[in-house]
Amino acid sequence: MQIDLPKCCSYAPDGEKGPYIYFVKDGNQVLLPGTYPFNQSNSEFWEKYAECLSGKLVANIACDTLSDLIQRYRSSDEFANLRSDTSRKKYSLYLEHMEAQAGDRRVQQFKKHDLVKLRDSMKGKPVTANYLLTVASVVFQKGVNLGWIDVNPVLGVEKLPAWSLPRLELQREALR
């Protein structure tokens, strides 16, 4: 049975720990104890929720890793307003890949060469690698909008050619 979350609370999926619950207010968010579906008898949750509601914890949040930024993006209207559940699921796969590759890195430390490495982690599938850049660009733009970074590091990263080199060589062999 699903139970509605309290005011200013939302949840997001996490493949390892289960869906987590967080408090969101004035563009800030705090991870709360417990998972979704919500257990109303969790006293630790209610204590931290009360502190967040009063403004004590929200004002002192230090979020600056790629995982933090991805969490913010997942809780945003931009993510919620993607065209369909399929788009959200597809984006989620790429977001999970980004977190696995570099989730603990500070957003401010990302440079163009880091995004090239991220893209190249999927270079065996050029179309997939290019879509990863599209998703990364949206996430880092969220970072720009939040004031975490000044420039989107994905800008200027070239997409891979749609035809991979081995495939072109096979086609050339077939034409000979």
Enumerate the domain spans of the chain.
9-60, 66-146
User: What pLDDT score was predicted for residue 110?
Assistant: 87
Residue 159 pLDDT more than 80? yes
User: What percentage of the chain exceeds 90 in pLDDT?
Assistant: 18
Q: Give the angle subtended at the CA of 75 by the CAs of 73 and 79, to the nearest 5°.
A: 60
* Rounded alpha-carbon distances, angstroms, from residue 105 to 15, 42, 47: 20, 32, 30
Q: Are 166 and 135 in contact (CB under 8 A)?
A: no
- pLDDT-derived band at 59 (thresholds 50, 70, 90) equals very low
Residue 152 pLDDT more than 90? yes
Residue 119 pLDDT more than 50? yes
Residue 137 pLDDT more than 90? yes
Residue 91 pLDDT more than 80? yes
User: What pLDDT score was predicted for residue 135?
Assistant: 93
The CATH-assigned architecture of domain 66-146 is Orthogonal Bundle (1.10)
Token pair of 96, please? 């999970």
pTM over 0.95: no
**Phi-psi domain of 4 (left: phi exceeds 0; alpha: psi -120 through 50; beta: other):** beta
